[in-house]
Chain A
Amino acid sequence: MNAAVSPVVVAGLDHWFGAGEARKQALFDVSLVLDPGTLTILMGPSGSGKTTLLTLMGCLREVQAGSVRLLGTELAGAPEPVRVGLRRRLGFIFQAHNLHASLTARQNVAMGLAVHGRGDPALQTRAVEHLLRLLGLGERLDYLPDNLSGGQKQRVAVARALVSNPALVFADEPTAALDKESGHTVVAMLRALGRERGTTTVMVTHDNRILDLADRIVTLEDGRIVSDTGRSRSSRPPVRAGVNDPTSPRGDLPSATAATSG
């Protein structure tokens, strides 16, 4: 990815909820440009619009007014097939992990790969297992979410979001359900994996314990950006993974798996 091209460009974004009398504006003229390969944290009190902004950037909500360019594509007025195609290039980690209760950890993560087509089942299996082992879930591959702890579930959700090597990862309070230690672990993993792969990560949180991991902190209040710190840090080139880094080559997970497990 060309570092000069920003994966996310938000310009003049407004958003409303409700209709008629109850119509309430949630975002006011929000503009934001993200640099590739960085970890940006969106902060702010409840109702500040940070999750709304995240879901708008993540193609999960229709843009009403203003512009969001995601990986070079304008989202405002984009037809459903375009949005579906973009969603496949993102990894989204949900606040409540949102794992499929009927599927095992392995199957849940595999869903993140299967969306791209059938491919080679053996290679897919290896990629899935490799990532779950990397996240410390090697012993829990065939557990259903109900039989996993909160931290384990969130780690499965992280694996599901990352397994297809997305260019962008959006995370909505990934640590909300976790204790301090596992919260930190999950975000640290997220950042490490992101850096290795040159992934741009945007995270909504009001968890102060993980702020030290961020490249940039954007704070929203009442639907407006009120502070934007650490921006200079993002101007340095993103940490690029070396050739020997097993998880580096995009779309080449199986060989990565082989290299790591060797």
Chain B
Amino acid sequence: MAKLLGRLFGRLPIGWLQLVHNRTRMAAAIAGVAFANVLVFVQLGMLGALEGTIVATYDPLRADVVIAPGDAETLTDGSLVARSAVWRALAVPGVAAAAPLHLAKVDFTRPDGAIASLQVYGIAPEAEAFVAPALREDLARLRLRDTALLDSATRGLDPDALAAIGPERPYVFEVNGLTLSATGTISLGAGFTADGALVVSDQTFLRLYGQRVSGAPSRVLLRVEPGAVPVAVANAVAARLAGEPVVVSTLEAAMEADLAYQTTQRPVGLIFGFGAAIGVLVGIVIVYQVLSTDVADHLREYATLKAMGYAHPFFLGIVFEEALVLGILGFLPGLALATGIYAVMAGATGLPVEMTLVRASAVFLGTIAACAISGAIATRRLAGADPAELF
């Protein structure tokens, strides 16, 4: 390490020598940086889990354009769309296919007596172009009345029992007074608003919800012709439906808007967003404390070197060297610990709390940057003072 740093900085690796000279202090500094990392990771993990569950609600769907009611903020709220939109949209050039999608929530009494809330997707079994490839085969089987695909990651259900579900081994359960047979599974996972998902045919959906009618689905999904630009088609459909209380956008844009709304307008999103911001701030403060304490501890030695004719860039170099060492050595245990905490959180909540490469890289670079900037700020006292005032 000393040799590597010596080669990297082209001089005696004073920063490293200072750090290893006092192992206790170095361990405390590394622990501080690691703690800051864990704090940031946990907060970002929760925010990431919220975003993950929002994106997951779109996972089963495949569409280029979606017609949503004008009052919808997320995929699972809003009023209904008139089914006539299907025919009117199909008349727009560039639209290849359209399918109504019914959405609702249903309470499901788990075998242990607790209530689980399931997000129900009702879609025609022949609309296979509108669901994820993995679901297409199972979707076709939903033509049988009162069959369903149950979320294999439903919170509170025995994962082994769910994993065993198949066409030959249906899982029979009752919701809304209707006995359903799950003949397949879908893997969506629990979220903040639902404990799992359920996919049924449009006909079964209407049997589950007596008050819903086929003339008023929750959304209308569109596929565009090959070569057509979804955004242009969405605009054309919007123009055709002008005056109707609907919003037409690409599914992508709808998901982005949903994410933005839920993470910045909803209490849960706000809290996690604040948590992440505070986590990053506190992390920076901890790192600043670690680095500025270190500079203060060595101020006398730096002043001596300054008296010998070393200029400010030299001290910045020492501090950057320490920032690099502490950043790397603090990040690694922080990453390991955070990954462990993620596993515990995911296990306890069923939420998708996962370490991602992007997040790990961002936190790593942020750590190095925060260390370096903190150190640079901490050396300002040295820059402004005469050496004789610092002994």
Interface residues, chain A, CB within 8 Å of chain B? 55, 58-62, 80-81, 84-90, 92, 94, 96, 98, 100-103, 107, 110-112, 114-115, 118, 144, 160
Contacts and interface: CB of A to CB of B under 8 A. Distances in A.
Contacts of B10: 118
Interface of B: 10-12, 14, 17-18, 20-22, 300-301, 304-311, 386-389, 391
Contact of A98 (B17, B311, B391): B391
Contacts of B14: 100, 102-103
Contacts of A60: 307, 386-388
16 contacts: A55-B386, A61-B386, A80-B311, A81-B311, A87-B307, A92-B308, A98-B300, A98-B391, A100-B14, A100-B305, A102-B18, A102-B22, A102-B301, A112-B308, A115-B305, A118-B11
B17 A94 contact: no
A165 to B, nearest CB: 14
B26 to A, nearest CB: 11
Contact of A115 (B21, B310, B388): B310
Contacts of B17: 102-103, 107
Contacts of A86: 309
Nearest to B22: A102
A58 B307 contact: yes
A62 B388 CA distance: 9
A87 B386 CA distance: 12
Contacts of A61: 386-389
Contacts of A115: 305, 308-310
Given A60-B388, A114-B12, A101 B21 contact: yes
Contacts of B309: 84-90, 115
A58 B300 CA distance: 17
B308 A100 contact: no
Given A92-B307, A101-B21, A111 B387 contact: no
A101 B301 contact: yes
A62 B386 contact: yes
Contacts of B307: 58-60, 87, 92, 94
B308 A88 contact: yes
Nearest to A88: B309
A81 B313 CA distance: 12
Contact of A103 (B12, B22, B311, B389): B12
A100 B388 contact: no
B12 A87 contact: no
A60 B308 CA distance: 9
Given A84-B309, A115-B309, A98 B304 contact: yes
A112 to B, nearest CB: 6
Nearest to B18: A102
Contacts of B12: 103, 107, 110-111, 114
Contacts of B387: 60-61
Nearest to B306: A87
A161 B65 CA distance: 77
A100 B11 contact: no
Nearest to A98: B304
Contacts of A110: 12
A106 B387 CA distance: 23
Contacts of A84: 309-311
A85 B308 CA distance: 10
A110 B21 CA distance: 18
Contacts of A58: 307
A112 B307 CA distance: 11
A111 B14 CA distance: 10
Contacts of B310: 84, 115
Given A60-B388, A102-B20, 12 more contacts: A80-B311, A81-B311, A84-B309, A84-B310, A87-B306, A92-B307, A96-B391, A102-B21, A102-B22, A111-B308, A114-B12, A115-B305
A197 B310 CA distance: 24
Nearest to B386: A61
Given A84-B311, A88-B309, A103-B12, A98 B301 contact: yes
A111 to B, nearest CB: 7
B386 A100 contact: no
B305 A111 contact: yes
A86 to B, nearest CB: 8
Contacts of A107: 12, 17
